[in-house]
């Protein structure tokens, strides 16, 4: 379970709570001094006794809860939970940058990724909606969400090595996430060697989490690397691991075609989706109930008679 704040700057108002605590005990101390000064022994008994202290503490706790609920209401707090889902909609985001022409997979990384991605599509249940995005320095929509497997497989087969320089993983996540808008259970599967040199991974994580998207990443490449037209290219796992971990997805390392296929099979077995619930209305209701309870107690049971 994760908490998300639409307006986190309002959290600074929680600093009011220690001020209220200080004022509460300061005023309680003044009451004690006042009772002793005028030798009101009945008042002294009430002020010095544990009973009054416990009553005051209870009222203080209610006041703190009311303040906390009001502040959280101002922040627009949401709760994000993971729930079981029987089906998913997927976007396959395939890295088509020049590093994917490395020959540590036969004939190269991109062709191996395309072949395994097509096998993944065949293994998904009938009716599964799948889209395809390719990315390098920019992202391109190869196929929008569809349940027609042949369309999706054809789109994957036609992805070429991109002539655009760079690898912008953040844009790939944003583009993929946008195409999953309105789907019940949403997952992006990234196939990449992780050679990220455009954009920031932090923005991708925030965007995916804000839209309840789980990002599973598959790192394709070997530690020894493969030869490309510009030199040796090795896998870089850090960004892929961070993206998966921080969106509640999984990272899979594939340094052979067999492990690449196994990674896809494991993705199918991941059955949890993210759901965000706006709890603002519940906080407003809790605030009203706590306020009424405090008002009733102060004017009935906890009322101090002269």
Instruction: Sketch the domain layout of the chain as residue ranges.
Output: 2-80+278-299, 86-270
- 115 has a pLDDT exceeding 50: yes
Residues 243-249, mean pLDDT to the nearest whole number: 93
The least confident of 98-102, 152-156, 269-273 is: 269-273
Instruction: Examine the pLDDT at 266 and tell me if it is beyond 90.
Output: yes
Confidence of residue 180 (pLDDT cuts 50, 70, 90): very high
Residue 79 pLDDT exceeds 60: yes
* Burial zone of 269 (CB within 10 Å; 0-12 exposed, 13-18 middle, 19+ buried): exposed
Tokens describing residue 85: 């889902």
Determine the average pLDDT of the residues in 72-91: 87
91-99 average pLDDT score: 94
Average pLDDT, the chain: 86
Residue 21: pLDDT above 50? yes
Q: Which residues contact 143 (CB under 8 A, 6 or more apart)?
A: 130, 131, 132, 151, 152, 155, 156
Q: At residue 292, does pLDDT exceed 50?
A: yes
pLDDT band for 246, please (50, 70, 90 cuts). Answer: very high
Query: How far is 206 from 240, CA to CA, in rounded Å?
Result: 15
**Average pLDDT of the segment spanning 216-227:** 91
Q: Average pLDDT, stretch 189-193?
A: 94
Mean pLDDT computed over 13-37: 79
Span 152-165, pLDDT tens digits: 999 999 999 988 87
Q: pTM for the whole thing?
A: 0.75
Q: What percent of the chain has pLDDT over 70?
A: 89
Residue 50, pLDDT score: 42
* Pairing of the two strands 139-146 and 226-228: unpaired
The residue-averaged pLDDT of 189-208 equals: 85
Of 32 and 177, the one with more pLDDT: 177
Helices of type H across the chain: 16-37, 41-48, 50-75, 109-123, 149-157, 169-179, 201-210, 238-245, 257-268, 280-299
Per-residue pLDDT at 253 exceeds 60: yes
Instruction: Output the 3-class SS for 45-64.
Output: HHHHCHHHHHHHHHHHHHHH
pLDDT at residue 178 greater than cutoff 90: yes
Give the pLDDT band (50/70/90) at residue 120. Answer: very high
User: What is the average per-residue pLDDT within 233-242?
Assistant: 89
Q: Which fold has domain 86-270?
A: Rossmann fold (3.40.50)
């Amino acid at each position: 379970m994760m908490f998300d704040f639409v307006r986190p700057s309002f959290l600074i108002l929680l600093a009011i709570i220690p001020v209220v605590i200080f004022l509460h005990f300061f005023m309680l101390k003044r009451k004690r001094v006042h009772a002793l000064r005028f030798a009101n022994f009945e008042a002294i008994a009430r002020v010095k006794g544990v009973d009054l202290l416990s009553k005051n503490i209870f009222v203080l706790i209610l006041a703190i809860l009311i303040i906390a609920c009001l502040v959280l209401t101002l922040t627009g707090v949401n709760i994000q939970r993971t729930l079981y889902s029987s089906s998913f909609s997927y976007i396959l985001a395939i890295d088509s940058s020049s590093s994917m022409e490395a020959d540590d997979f036969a004939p190269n990384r991109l062709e191996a990724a395309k072949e395994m991605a097509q096998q993944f599509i065949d293994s998904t249940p009938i009716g599964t909606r799948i889209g395809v995005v390719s990315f390098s320095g920019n992202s391109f929509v190869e196929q929008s969400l569809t349940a027609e497997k042949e369309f999706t497989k054809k789109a994957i087969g036609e992805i070429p090595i991109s002539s655009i320089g760079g690898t912008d993983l953040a844009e790939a996540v944003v583009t993929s996430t946008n195409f999953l808008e309105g789907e019940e259970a949403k997952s992006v599967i990234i196939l990449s060697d992780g050679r990220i040199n455009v954009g920031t991974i932090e923005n991708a994580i925030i965007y995916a989490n804000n839209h309840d998207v789980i990002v599973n990443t598959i790192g394709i490449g070997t530690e020894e690397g493969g030869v490309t037209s510009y030199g040796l290219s090795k896998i870089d796992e850090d960004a892929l691991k961070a993206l998966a971990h921080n969106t509640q997805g999984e990272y899979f390392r594939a340094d052979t075609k067999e492990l690449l296929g196994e990674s896809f099979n494991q993705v199918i077995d991941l059955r949890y989706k993210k759901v965000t619930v706006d709890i603002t209305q519940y906080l407003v209701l809790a605030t009203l109930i706590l306020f009424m309870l405090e008002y009733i107690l102060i004017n009935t049971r906890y009322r101090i008679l002269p």
